[in-house]
Structure formats: C-alpha cells, structure tokens
Amino acid sequence: MRRDVRPDPAFRFHQRDLSEYRDADLNPYLKLHLAYGPPVLTADQAHAARGRWAETFGRAAPLHVEVGSGNGFFLAGMAGLHPDWNWLGLEIRFKRVVQTAGRIRAAGAAHARIARYDAFWMGDLFDDGEVSGLYVNHPDPWPKPRETRNRLLARPFAETAARLLASGAHLRVKTDSVAYVDGILAVLDGLPFEVVGRSDDIASEGPPWPPDDDVVSSYQRKFLDRQAPVHALWIRRL
Ligand SMILES: C[S@@+](CC[C@H](N)C(=O)[O-])C[C@H]1O[C@@H](n2cnc3c(N)ncnc32)[C@H](O)[C@@H]1O
C-alpha cells in the first residue's frame, strides 16, 4: 500500500463524538488542541482551507509550510523573520501542536498557524501551485533498510511537492541523516526540481541558503551540540 493513501484513523478521530470515550482514555492534548482556537487548526479546518488560505489567515500573502514542526521553535522564528508571508506548520502529534501554538502566541505571530495533520496527506490541503516554500527539518530518519518505506520524503511526497509548489518556490530540508539526503535526491529524479545547493555540515560550511534566512530548529540544536553534522538541501521548483 502506498503510504500516502493509507487509512489514518487518528485523522478522523476528533470527528467522532468525544462522549463515546471515557475522559481518562483521551489524550489531554487532543482535547486541548480542539479547544485552543487560532493559531491551532484541526485537521478538518485545515482540510476546509484548501484553495482559501488567504481567508484563513485574513490576508493574501505567500504561503510557507513547515512539515513536522515539533515544538514550533523554527516556525515561530521564521514567522518573525518573514512577517510578510503566511506560515503554516503541519504536525501529527497533539502535544507538539499545542506546544507550537504556545510559541506562536508568545511570538505574537498572527500570520502563523499550526495544523494537526498527517503530512503523508499534505496534498489534500493545497491547490496546485498554492505554496511558495516548503520546509522539513530533521524528519524521522528511519535508518534501517527495512524502515526506509516509512520515510516521509519518498516519491509520493516529492510528487505532491511538485504539484503544490509554485514555479520558483523552494523546498528546504535539514537532516542529521546523510542517507536521507541521498534518498531525497533519488526520489526527485525526473520531477521538475533543481538542486540549488547542498551542505554536508552546516556548522562548518554554513547552510546552502543565506545564513541569516534561517532558524536553528530544536532537533538541529541537539545535533550541533553533539558536534554531529547537519546536512541541508536547497531545492527549487522549476
Ligand atoms: C525528529 S522531530 C523534528 C522536529 C522539528 N522539525 C525540529 O527539527 O526540531 C520530527 C517531527 O515530525 C513529526 N511528524 C512525524 N511524522 C509526521 C507526519 N506524518 N505528519 C506530520 N508530522 C509528523 C513528529 O511528530 C515530530 O514532531
């Protein structure tokens, strides 16, 4: 089965009547994310925003999307660097959605949202060419050969990215896994992308993009502190 069309029970979980569940059985962050309001978007709200993101943000602006936002440090930081763009994070874990929402609020970033969404289904959220920038920081590496099929940045993701990114838009990836870098380059083959730059050690070489146009993510910080190399790819949609 293709990972991008797998059934995802968690995606629909909140649509069910919560009274069906004993309170003690519910993830408290699931309930928190439902009650949070902006900047949190539930999966249904994100889904309904397809083609209407300007309405969701209350303004028309280039849409930049981070996949797997974790605790939101990168998303809130980048929203601060680019107040003229709309920023959307996609995160699957309820607790991290709530953490990211807290960071967005603390940063006063009214032009940022965090959606609880499984990024394997990212294609459902955007019309063709609706996205101006896509960012993936330290995606789960799944390093063992039998786990490779779990990687998010596989061929279906690359095909979806080619569809939703506008011509001239970029995809920026940072990862601690060099095998993942090579895997991404392989899945881009034959798609309308060009590699603008690559770094195999951001600490010594700098990132391939302008260094002042970046925020060190929380996972990146862990690897930098251990003096482990962080790899980066800067890719442009042709
Ligand atoms: C290793 S952490 C990196 C977090 C953050 N990007 C950073 O660099 O600090 C990977 C993140 O991706 C999220 N994630 C994993 N699979 C996902 C999916 N299918 N859709 C959305 N988020 C996902 C995880 O919950 C986690 O927060």
Q: In terms of DSSP bridges, do strands 63-67 and 131-137 run parallel, antiparallel, or are they unpaired?
A: parallel
68 Cβ inside 6 Å of ligand 1: yes
Q: Give the closest residue (by CA) to ligand 1 atom 7.
A: 219
Backbone angles phi, psi at 94, to 5 degrees: -55, -45
Helix (H, G, I), strand (E, B), or coil: what is residue 170?
A: strand
Look at residue 14 and tell me whether its pLDDT is greater than 70: no
Q: What span, in angstroms and rounded, lies between the C-alpha atoms of 79 and 74? A: 8
100-128 residue pLDDT tens? 999 999 999 999 999 999 999 999 999 99
Give, as one character, the DSSP assignment of residue 26. Answer: S
Residue spans of the domains in the chain: they are 3-237
pLDDT given at position 149? 84
Query: Domain 3-237 sits in which CATH superfamily?
Result: Vaccinia Virus protein VP39 (3.40.50.150)
In the reported structure, the alpha carbon of residue 149 is separated from the centroid of ligand 1 by a whole-number distance in angstroms of 16
Integer Rg of the chain from CA: 17
Rounded Cα distance between 134 and 63, Å, is 9
Token digits for 108? 């006063």
pLDDT confidence of 2, banded at 50, 70, 90?
A: very low
Q: pLDDT: is 150 or 40 the higher one?
A: 40
